[in-house]
Chain A
Amino acid sequence: MSSIRVSIMRLIAPALLASLAAATQAQSRPKVSALLSSGVVKFGATAQLNVEVEGARSARILAVPEVDGLKISPPGRPSSSQFVQIINGRQFRRSTLSWSLSVRPTRTGDFTIPPLRVAADGREYTTTELVLTVVKDMRGERLGYFEIVDPPTRIYEGQPFTIDLRMGWDLELPISRANLFLPWWGQLPGTLKLSQGPRNPAGNWLELTVNRRTKVQVQELAPITRAGREFAVLRLRRRYLASRPGTLELPASTFEFAQRGGQRDIFGNSNLERYYVDLPGIRIDVRPVPEAGRPLEWTGAVGALEASRRIDRRDVDVGDSIKLTVSWTGDGNLEFFDPPEPARLDAFAGFRVLGTEDEYRGEERRVTYDLVPVSPELTEIPPLPLWTFDPVLEAYRKIETEPVPIRVRALEGSEGLDDEEDRGGLALDIRDVKTRPAGPPLRRPGARWVAMALLGVPALWLLARILVRRRGDPAAPVERRRRAARRRLARDLKRSANAGEQTRALVRFLSARTRDPDQAWLGRSHAEWREGDEGRAVLDKEAAHEMDALRADLDESSYAGTDAAVDSGRILRTADRLLRGGL
């Protein structure tokens, strides 16, 4: 018996071990799943696609499938949860990563969501295929409505157009919430959003949410009756301007409204019962403004416009200012065209345009021209034309203001500003032609003379410098004293009061000119004075005698006791003679 038991155990044990190992392996492998919150949703509502990865430390969704007719939101960060279980003392831990993607249908029908690719702990997994059915909310269609009033189908480039949405619900329903899903909101390429103008304060305005993000003001209109039922009416208007030719596509939109249901949750809050009404998409063909027949004066105005005018005064003097205010109204690109310029119009030749003031007031373009009549012969302000392309007529049309009769009185003693302008003139202009023949041209000295000057002057300077420096430095003190000897003699003689001082001045002069010390000229005979080894006489005989006579007179005056000064002029004349003699 025991041998049989042992044999059975030997057979079962490997099988148990194998199954345990398989179970352990299965438990450690991540489990990936995807599930829709509902297999059937109303058109306009949103389904949730929940993706879960169980038993993985890290995971991410590799790609979100693209399904025609469904808009699936991109995955964000996963939410993580952990579940711990203890059975017979053993602890089981389970961790889960999950994503919730919103799925919004853009049309009704049956849709297949292909498997999602998920990477978990380094390996790739796929979920199962899912099926979603989108059906029309028949009840919502019956209890509410959503429509666009007179949608444009064909417009011209530059033409403004209005998207006028009307939506509402059965007034018997206690509606507590309403939303709009407009895929084109803020994303209409090739258009410019126009201002709405001032809001009518008299109307009742409500706030709706568009695309769960933007809050907009909608106007509540008077209820309407449809099929014997009374409906609330909300209006949302937006004005656009087509900025380029092509096709504008507004995809299908959805109006959601909800009432509180009868069931309540554990907190006592009642659930919302939602209804959806869809609005089919529309296409708008934008055509270019035709070139054929386009007048040169056309400045970009498109639309069916009307013009009116008014002026602030009709009886003025020449030079007075008249404010002409022109208003253009109607369905057109009022804020985008260039207003006409009277200064460029022949009809306004009798006026000076001092300036313009341009403003746009919602449904009116108003331009004020500051006109000054320059002639007393003017009797009216002529019509101001504006060329516009009328999309209804599909032709260019000229809109003119009515002429305005005025009276312009001449200033006393003046014939108008035209004459004054002719006499004075404030405009910039070229200077007059030169009628006198120009003088003869300045003769060129030529490059040779310039080169000679540039090279010759430095060469001459160098030569002169070398020659002069051979005799010594002309800037040395003794040379400067020698050059200044005559001036100093004259100065010293002016200051001299007696013969002794005159003698000292004369000795200083002689010593400076001869580069000898002063003592050398005390008692020296001028006639016998020799210079150098050759013994050449420095002074000629007459000059030497004159000098000796002068010195004798000075000595006599000094030593005879009177010490009276001799004539300074005589001393200077003698000195000049010595200088001329080569001293």
Chain B
Amino acid sequence: MVRAAALLLGLALTTALATPAVAPEDVATAAYRAGRYDTAQTLWHDELRAAQASPERARLAYNIGNAAYRQGHVQEAVGWYTAALRLTPRDPDVWANLELARTESGLEPADRGDLAATTKRLVAALTLAEAEWLVIGLMLVLAACLGGEALRGGKLWSRLALGALLLVALALAPLAWNSVHAGGQPMMVISKRAVPARTEPRPDAKRITELAPGLELERLDALPGWVKVAAPGGLELWVRDAAVFDLSIE
């Protein structure tokens, strides 16, 4: 009897050890495919907490956005896609889903297509690492051109050096953009309607203004249930934390 039990236990252990461990990612994807979007969202959330690399965090944020979208939380999906875009700014899938979700939320497109929006998209198209490498690479090109100008002189080398200098100046724009927007805690209003902003974190505090859906703000402080944000016009106001989305997932 004891021998039989030991045999069964050993067989079970062998089977357990022989079965390959299922990755959480596979489980989350399977749940998503089966229509259990809340389960998939929870699993991807757990993975996001553990993930370190930016591309992987962006991928998980994108997947969580998809799960939120499928559950009808389109505003929340907009927040996740926007957060993913901050990490992988040129990802066409994220852009496509973001624009679709924004359209369904009644928000204007993230890229309106006008000159200002196109310029912003170009400047923000690189991550900080990419922008730094680009600047260093172009500085090497500039160094070669300046070396030629120093050793040989002449108009050709001067013009080449000038062109390289111009490219470096252009490459500094993404670097400056990323440097300015690095750090901090950007938030986004994801409520369906305009969110009342109050002077104090109390429901009966005076409403100073209303924050439009889709508006991006800087988080200054937080209390249970409330977030203090830098509202337009230099105001520091409190809003309900359920109405804003934390974009800083890096």
The interface of chain A, by Cβ under 8 A from chain B, is: 428-435, 437-447, 449-450, 453-454, 457-458, 460-461, 464-465, 468, 473-475, 480, 483
Contacts and interface: CB of A to CB of B under 8 A. Distances in A.
Question: Interface majority SS on A: helix, strand, loop or mixed?
Answer: loop
A435 B150 CA distance: 53
B245 to A, nearest CB: 17
The 4 A-B residue pairs whose C-beta atoms are closest, nearest first, are A475-B153, A438-B55, A461-B146, A453-B139
Contacts of B77: 430
B149 A434 contact: no
Contact of B136 (A438, A445, A474): A445
Given A433-B62, A457-B139, A464 B153 contact: no
A489 to B, nearest CB: 20
Nearest to B154: A475
B111 interface: no
Interface of B: 25, 29, 32, 53-56, 58-59, 62-63, 66-67, 69, 77, 93, 96-97, 100-101, 127-130, 132-133, 135-136, 139-140, 142-143, 146-147, 149-154, 175
A430 B135 CA distance: 35
Residue among A430, A432, A444, A445 with the highest chain B CB neighbour number at 10 A: A430
A439 B132 contact: no
A474 B151 contact: yes
Contacts of B93: 431, 434
B150 A461 contact: yes
A468 B150 CA distance: 7
Given A446-B132, A461-B147, A473-B153, A441 B54 contact: yes
Contacts of A428: 100
Given A447-B132, A458-B146, 8 more contacts: A430-B77, A430-B96, A434-B59, A450-B135, A450-B136, A460-B146, A474-B154, A475-B154
A475 B151 CA distance: 9
Contacts of A429: 100
A42 B129 CA distance: 96
A442 B59 CA distance: 15
Given A430-B66, A433-B63, A457 B142 contact: yes
B183 to A, nearest CB: 13
A483 B182 CA distance: 51
Given A431-B96, A437-B25, A457-B139, A442 B127 contact: yes
Given A433-B63, A441-B55, A460 B143 contact: yes
Given A454-B139, A457-B142, A468-B151, A443 B129 contact: yes
Contact of B56 (A430, A432, A437, A465): A437
Given A445-B132, A450-B132, A460-B143, A433 B55 contact: no
